[in-house]
Each structure stands twice: as C-alpha cells, then as structure tokens.
Structure 1
C-alpha cells in the first residue's frame, strides 16, 4: 500500500494498522510532507529499494513477522552508503526495544497515541539532520551526526545494559538514573535532541518513576529541561555543564582502562 504525490516523498511510514497509516499520511500531506506507506516490513524494504529519495523512515516497533527493530537492522545493512534517519513509534515502551532503536541511530521515539503534527515535527528535525550530514559530506568535513569513536563507545555502554538484563534476572538493576545519563551522553555525542518523553521510554520504567528520577537528576545539577526551539510544546532534556564534565570523566576513565583513545 503506497501513497505518492508529484513531490518525490522523502518519508516512509510503516505500521501494520492501515487506519493509522491513512490518518498519518493524510495528516502529513496536509502539512506539506508527502509520504509513502507500508503495512509490513517486507513491503517497506521493497519500497526503500525502489525509492532512493527516501530520507526518513517512521516505523512502528510492534509488527508481525519482522518487527521495527529488525527492519531498521536490515535497512542499516542495505543503505550503508545512504542511510535513512529513523523515528520509532511504540505503544509498548520497553528497555530492550528502545536501546535497540538507539543503537540503530533512531533520532526520536514517539509513543502512541500521537498526532500528525507531532510526527511532522519529528520528521522535520530528522530531515534537518540528514541535510546537515549531506552538506558536511559534500564539503569533505565530518558532520556532528557522523558516528566516531566516542559515540560508538557510548553506544557500547548503552548496549551493555541490554546484555546485562538478558543475562541476569530482570529487575535486579531497576534504577533508571544511570541509563538516562548514558542516553543523554549518546544523544549529545551524536547531535540528537532527546525529549522528556523519549528519555522516559528509553528508561524502561513507568513514566511516573522516570519523571521522578529526571527531577532528582535536575536537582543534583546533572541535567536540565529546556523548550524545543522548533516546537515549544516539546521539552528537551540536556546534560548540564557539570553533568557533561562528569560523564566525560567517567567515559575517559573507562576507556583508559581498556587502552582506548577517544577523539
């Protein structure tokens, strides 16, 4: 199932619920963002192969046969020379899925139910990142979003918590504060803004618990909440100078123990 306009669409929507696809695609079209749509990951892969202009994929995580994480994994392999920015949508937030999406360079997490306007804001942010990366590549410089040693190492630390939870009894390590600081460090290293909602989803704990820990970290001077300049209704979370310095000290100390030099 695809929808196409005279303007070459740069966005692909993937969801196994046709009603969601219709509502979002029509809403985005009204906002000047034409899109293609797919009801399955297999269909999405075929559409991507036939449409090189696609730059952003918005995919549900919970889908039959091939889920959103596996779809992003396949796209990462097939589009290495021209990667797509990924936005993930979920109605069932969980730690392992959020971490998996983070490792695959997801630029935003959106939780259902959501509006076309909310998705449009996320898409515009993703398109800006893609354009910045393309411009930097054409100028022969390294864009801020390009993966380097530091973000790779930070992502390895983030991935370690998913390994930890698969090896040890689930729930043994339930405090989300450290996970939040790691996610914020990765977001900063890859120039990816992260919202309060996204941080709560990635923490893998109930939203009320995550919000309390965000308040605790803010009170400790490690993070701050600021309005998104592109969408004043959206609140972003950032490390403070002290939070940045302490995370840097931790990363450098751990890397030194492994004999690694981070740029």
Structure 2
C-alpha cells in the first residue's frame, strides 16, 4: 500500500482522490483511442503508470503482459517503457505468488509517492 501522505494530501482521502483522478485520466485516454482511431498521440509510459496505480489501489496483481496491454502500445514498445520505469525505480518485477511461471509488475514506493504527489495537485 502506498505510504500515508497525510501532510501532503490529507492521508487516505487524498489517496482516494488521487486514485479517482488516475481512473478518470485512464478512461479519457482509452476513450480517445476509440474516438480517434489510428491517431498515435499516446504515452505508453504514462498509461502504464496510471494503470498500475489504479490496479494497486484495487488490490490487483498486474502481470507484465497485462501492464503492456494496458499501455496501449505494441508489446516490444511497452516492454521497453516498462524497462525504463524499472531502471528509474518506479516499478519492480517479481514472480507471481500463485504461478511462478508468470511475472507481476508493481509500483515501488517511489512510483506510488510520485503519482500521489502529481495527482494530488
């Protein structure tokens, strides 16, 4: 669970607000793909971060495959963006707790705190 940022955004209420804002942003980004098909103006890294943030708040584990699909980018592009996020310490990977053949990706403390700070404003 993301750390409590009570001094920065009102604790749990601020966290809930940030998750709601992230969900709204994801909905707009995904709707844009439907309304404007073929227009390549997406940001796979941003969509991946928002998706991971919302899924973490909902208590869902996210496979690498699911994170890549959630980015809206081709698999190789999404994996490259995921690698960049991992190199910079915003996400990490580990074996799936129930299926060792699968890998899950999750936001690190740095990733969660950064998104909460950004979305709280």
Both structures adopt the same fold (TM-score exceeding 0.5): yes
1:64 corresponds in structure 2 to none
1:202 corresponds in structure 2 to 70
Q: CA RMSD in A?
A: 1.8
Deviation at 1:165, TM superposition (A): 3.1
1:107 corresponds in structure 2 to none
Q: Flag structure 1 segments of 5+ consecutive residues without an equivalent.
A: 1-147, 254-263
**Higher strand fraction (1 or 2):** 1
Q: Secondary structure at the match of 1:229?
A: coil
| Distance (Å, rounded) in 2 between the aligned partners of 1:252 and 1:220 | 22
Q: Secondary structure at the match of 1:162?
A: helix
Pair 1:180 & 2:42 matched: no
Matches within 5 A, 1:245-260: 245-253=113-121
TM-score for both structures, normalised by structure 2: 0.77
**Higher helix fraction (1 or 2):** 2
Instruction: Give the total of aligned pairs.
Output: 106
1:215 corresponds in structure 2 to 83
Q: Flag structure 2 segments of 5+ consecutive residues without an equivalent.
A: 1-15
RCO higher in structure (CA 8 A, sep ≥6): 2
TM-score for both structures, normalised by structure 1: 0.37
Cα 1:231/1:251, change in 2 over 3 Å: same
The structure with the larger Rg is 1
Deviation at 1:209, TM superposition (A): 0.9
